[in-house]
């Protein structure tokens, strides 16, 4: 299923782009045909760097993100990488006599900020500067103006790059560029070159306009043809001072990136790291190949022959990089795990989330979309990890309970539709608009109050068909019609909520049918009154699993997305769901408790024999229900250990007398997320006299979330 896969096209092309950059620096065809080499290294290969800039922009630039956290993270990461690269190339700088140059200090500053201390390293400061500029333009002026400014900067850059020969005849212009070139060597930098590509990718990430693969490829062919003609003309008339920037490079990148976005598969994380490494180390490898060629007498085939040189550099860089990337990928998660899995933690298996999305989408009728309900920290799973992963899978509609949850999702960079299911004070209408959130109209007077704020707000109207909680009574068609006429409310949806869809008892099924009929009856009345019925939704998880025959525009799925049901009861459709969340802790202490002595508050557990007790550092402060005291149990090394005595705020005791080989630091599984593994969330929930939904969403407060 296309919609549930990562952007593999982007990942694969990272490697292609890295190869192109190596080509730029080794000129593979130079020994054979000068024009062919020009076309390869100065035209085709010029898509490499803008592509890398766009991969950063795609995740960085968004109109919703208002705090600077994401930018800060990006700048920090890139700066760190830049620092490492600078140090890596110091010996080479030294060898080349970099430190003996005149005006060393000003030159160093210029290189650090714009040109890079090694010829290829300009990309890193350029992406920091370009990313920051694009970010602030977006924040201060909004997308259209930001584009305009970045476009103008790009034009200025063109004048100092490929078009320099065409404009240097004008004295004033020449003076302007002379001034610029005292500050940096090329206009292909973070100021003139990078911002437009960051913005372009950020805009494409919103996905408002997505062309098909075929259309993108067609666009790419046309714009590449134009860019080729442009480059050859400029080359022919010798107008280029440098040959990185073309007018048609921008549309070319738009279609190329658009085509790559259409190619979706499993994530190929290794290629990401490897491509970056190829980019970073290949100039070093060029030096190594030259030294080796000199030493072994293979100068002719490995250096003189441009193709041989290219292949040698590419092979060696590729081997180093793939090896390095494999090591890095293996090392990375462990470091992250060590810190957060010391005491008690939530562990997410995102492969199960992917699986559940696929299974649920299979159940949906044609044209019906998944609205992922991620309220209460995505049912305790952590809204960030869940929502951002869902968005990567192609889910583009979310539901939350409160406006602040919605704003939080925006701050994570979530771009899809976000429906606020619950009450929002009408005085916050401006924020609804600012963060592009959709508000549920919970009854008539609420709709009127929101309308009075004078701000256009996207809305879904809730209809009460018998739950008698939120919504306008479905018998009140007059009021509903009035709401549709309210000027400020943009009615994008209408929905109802079923209150006993989880039950298959005949009486409950009949009640649910009644709710559905009443809802459709109201929609019929609206149509008769000439009102265009907006998007319709009725079912939540149980609505979908027990009444899959309904055909709506959305299904609001919460608990099922997380791979569990509320209880252990069966549903009409048996979906193969897999639990996403596991709750784990570690054995913090082991005690021998002699027969007759007690454990914990209230002395409710008394050892009936000489016992061994393990203390686990998790308690009701982490969301574990205290009512499980003396009832539930955990699994340590695959063996069941019952809870001994009362659960405390931060600790609990389990009886491990009958378990073999228990030692300090052993993992204790409180909720398991493997197939058919106990204790599962519904079983624990039932023991606690509640449903999985409550059990899970209470875990969100103190526990770190670790992603597997």
Ligand X SMILES: *Cc1c(COP(=O)(O)O)cnc(C)c1O
x/- map, 420-439, ligand X, by CB under 6 A: -x------------------
Residue 386 Cβ vs ligand X, minimum distance, rounded to whole Å? 13
- Residue (75 or 370) nearer to ligand X, CB: 370
- Residue (163 or 542) nearer to ligand X, CB: 542
- Residue (42 or 462) nearer to ligand X, CB: 462
Residue 211 Cβ vs ligand X, minimum distance, rounded to whole Å? 33
> Which residues ranging from 538 to 557 are in contact with ligand X (CB under 6 A)?
540-542, 556-557
For residue 568, the tally of other CB atoms under 10 A from its CB is 12
Q: Which of 407, 406, 447 is nearest to 426 (CA)?
A: 447
x/- map, 330-369, ligand X, by CB under 6 A: ----------------------------------------
Residue 556 Cβ vs ligand X, minimum distance, rounded to whole Å? 4
Q: What is the dihedral of CA 347, 348, 349, 355, to 10 degrees?
A: 150
Which pair of tokens denotes residue 248?
């048609």
Q: Which residue reads 């005006």 in tokens?
A: 103
What gap in Å lies between CA 29 and CA 31, rounded to an integer?
6
Q: Are 387 and 374 spatial neighbours (Cβ–Cβ below 8 Å)?
A: yes
414 binds ligand X (CB under 6 A): no
Selected range binding ligand X among 265-273, 558-566, 654-662, 695-703, rule: CB under 6 A: 558-566
- Residue (499 or 590) nearer to ligand X, CB: 499
Selected range binding ligand X among 271-279, 473-481, 534-542, 636-644, rule: CB under 6 A: 534-542
Q: Are 57 and 198 spatial neighbours (Cβ–Cβ below 8 Å)?
A: yes
Count of residues in contact with ligand X, rule CB under 6 A = 13
x/- map, 649-668, ligand X, by CB under 6 A: --------------------
Contact pick of 442, 559, 564, 688 for ligand X (by CB under 6 A): 559
Q: Which residue reads 């200025």 in tokens?
A: 156
Q: Are 559 and 571 spatial neighbours (Cβ–Cβ below 8 Å)?
A: no
Residue 262 sits at the vertex; the CA angle it makes with 251 and 16, to the nearest 5 degrees, is 70
Question: Among residues 375, 458, 462, 535, which one is catalytic?
Answer: 375
Q: Which residue reads 């559905």 in tokens?
A: 516
Q: What phi and psi values does residue 537 have, to the nearest 5 degrees?
A: -145, 145
- Residue (381 or 646) nearer to ligand X, CB: 381
Q: Is 334 a catalytic residue?
A: no
Taken as a whole, the chain contains a residue count of 708
Residue 145 sits at the vertex; the CA angle it makes with 142 and 146, to the nearest 5 degrees, is 70
Which pair of tokens denotes residue 204?
């494409």
x/- map, 218-257, ligand X, by CB under 6 A: ----------------------------------------
373 binds ligand X (CB under 6 A): yes
Residue 519 Cβ vs ligand X, minimum distance, rounded to whole Å? 13
- Residue (282 or 375) nearer to ligand X, CB: 375
Contact pick of 497, 535, 584, 646 for ligand X (by CB under 6 A): 497
Q: Are 463 and 497 spatial neighbours (Cβ–Cβ below 8 Å)?
A: no
For residue 485, the tally of other CB atoms under 10 A from its CB is 10
DSSP structural state of residue 413: T
> Which residues ranging from 676 to 705 are in contact with ligand X (CB under 6 A)?
693
Contact pick of 50, 558, 563, 625 for ligand X (by CB under 6 A): 558
Residue 542 Cβ vs ligand X, minimum distance, rounded to whole Å? 6
- Residue (567 or 606) nearer to ligand X, CB: 567
Q: What is the dihedral of CA 257, 259, 260, 265, to 10 degrees?
A: 150
Residue 212 Cβ vs ligand X, minimum distance, rounded to whole Å? 33
- Residue (385 or 559) nearer to ligand X, CB: 559
477-484 and 506-528 helices cross at what angle (nearest 10)?
A: 50
Residue facing ligand X at closest CB distance: 558
**C-alpha distance from residue 687 to each of 10, 631, 678, 681, 697 (Å):** 47, 7, 13, 10, 16
Q: Is 601 a catalytic residue?
A: yes
- Residue (11 or 405) nearer to ligand X, CB: 405
Residue 534 sits at the vertex; the CA angle it makes with 533 and 539, to the nearest 5 degrees, is 105
Residue 182 exposed, middle or buried by CB count within 10 Å (0-12, 13-18, 19+): exposed
Strands 535-537 and 489-496: parallel
Residue 543 Cβ vs ligand X, minimum distance, rounded to whole Å? 8
Residue 486 Cβ vs ligand X, minimum distance, rounded to whole Å? 22
Query: Largest Cα–Cα distance of the chain, in whole Å?
Result: 100
Residue 421 Cβ vs ligand X, minimum distance, rounded to whole Å? 5
Q: What phi and psi values does residue 37 have, to the nearest 5 degrees?
A: -65, -40
Residues that bind ligand X (CB under 6 A): 373, 375, 421, 497, 540-542, 556-560, 693
Which residues does the annotation mark as catalytic? 375, 601
């Amino acid at each position: 299923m296309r919609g549930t896969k990562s952007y593999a096209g982007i990942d694969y092309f990272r490697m292609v782009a890295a190869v192109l950059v190596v080509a730029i620096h080794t000129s593979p065809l130079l020994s054979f045909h000068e024009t062919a080499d020009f076309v390869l290294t100065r035209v085709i290969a010029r898509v490499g760097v803008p592509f890398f800039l766009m991969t950063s922009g795609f995740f960085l630039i968004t109109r919703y993100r208002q705090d600077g956290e994401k930018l800060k993270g990006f700048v920090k990461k890139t700066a760190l990488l830049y620092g490492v690269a600078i140090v890596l190339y110091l010996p080479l700088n030294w060898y080349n006599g970099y430190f003996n140059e005149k005006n060393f200090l000003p030159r160093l500053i210029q290189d650090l900020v714009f040109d890079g201390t090694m010829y290829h390293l300009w990309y890193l400061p350029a992406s920091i500067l370009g990313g920051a500029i694009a970010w602030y333009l977006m924040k201060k002026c909004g997308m259209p103006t930001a584009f305009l400014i970045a476009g103008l900067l790009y034009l200025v850059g063109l004048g100092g790059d490929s078009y320099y020969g065409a404009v240097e005849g004008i004295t004033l212009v020449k003076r302007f560029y002379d001034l610029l070139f005292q500050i940096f060597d090329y206009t292909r930098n973070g100021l003139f070159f990078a911002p437009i590509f960051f913005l372009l990718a950020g805009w494409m990430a919103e996905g408002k306009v997505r062309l098909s693969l075929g259309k993108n490829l067609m666009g790419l062919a046309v714009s590449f043809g134009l860019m080729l003609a442009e480059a050859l003309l400029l080359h022919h008339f010798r107008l280029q001072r440098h040959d990185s920037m073309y007018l048609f490079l921008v549309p070319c990148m738009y279609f190329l990136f658009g085509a790559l976005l259409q190619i979706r598969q499993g994530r190929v994380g290794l290629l990401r790291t490897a491509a970056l490494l190829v980019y970073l180390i290949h100039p070093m490898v060029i030096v190594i190949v030259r030294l080796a060629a000199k030493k072994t007498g293979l100068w002719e085939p490995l250096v003189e022959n441009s193709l041989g040189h290219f292949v040698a550099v590419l092979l060696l860089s590729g081997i180093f990089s793939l090896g390095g990337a494999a090591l890095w990928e293996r090392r990375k998660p462990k470091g992250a795990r060590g810190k957060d899995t010391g005491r008690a933690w939530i562990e997410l298996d995102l492969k199960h989330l992917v699986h559940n999305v696929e299974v649920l989408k299979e159940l949906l009728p044609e044209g019906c979309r998944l609205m992922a309900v991620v309220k209460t920290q995505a049912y305790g799973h952590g809204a960030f990890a869940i929502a951002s992963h869902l968005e990567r899978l192609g889910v583009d509609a979310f539901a939350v309970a409160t406006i602040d949850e919605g704003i939080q999702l925006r701050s994570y960079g979530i771009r899809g539709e976000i429906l606020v299911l619950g009450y929002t004070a009408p005085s916050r209408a401006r924020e609804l608009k600012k963060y592009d959130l959709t508000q549920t109209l919970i009854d008539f007077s609420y709709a009127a109050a929101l309308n009075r704020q004078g701000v256009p707000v996207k809305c879904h109207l809730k209809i009460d068909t018998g739950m008698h909680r939120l919504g306008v009574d479905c018998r009140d068609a007059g009021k509903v019609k009035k709401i549709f006429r309210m000027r400020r409310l943009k009615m994008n949806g209408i929905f109802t909520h079923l209150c006993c869809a989880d039950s298959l008892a005949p009486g409950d099924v009949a009640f649910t049918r009644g709710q559905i009929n009443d809802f459709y009856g109201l929609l019929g009345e609206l149509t008769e009154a000439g009102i265009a019925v907006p998007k319709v939704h009725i079912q939540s998880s149980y609505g979908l699993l027990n009444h899959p025959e309904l055909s709506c525009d959305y299904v609001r799925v919460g608990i099922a997305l997380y791979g569990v049901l509320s209880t252990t009861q069966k549903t009409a459709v048996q979906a193969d769901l897999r639990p996403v969340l596991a709750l784990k802790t570690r054995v913090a202490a082991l005690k021998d408790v002699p027969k007759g002595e007690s454990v914990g508050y209230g002395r409710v557990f008394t050892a009936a024999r000489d016992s061994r007790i393990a203390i686990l550092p998790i308690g009701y402060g982490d969301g574990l229900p205290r009512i499980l005291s003396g009832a539930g149990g955990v699994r340590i090394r695959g063996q069941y250990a019952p809870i001994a005595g009362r659960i405390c705020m931060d600790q609990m005791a389990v009886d491990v007398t009958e378990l073999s080989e228990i030692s300090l630091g052993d993992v204790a599984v409180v909720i398991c997320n493997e197939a058919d593994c106990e204790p599962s969330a519904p079983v624990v929930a039932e023991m606690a006299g509640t449903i999985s939904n409550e059990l899970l969403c209470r875990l969100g407060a103190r526990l770190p979330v670790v992603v597997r």
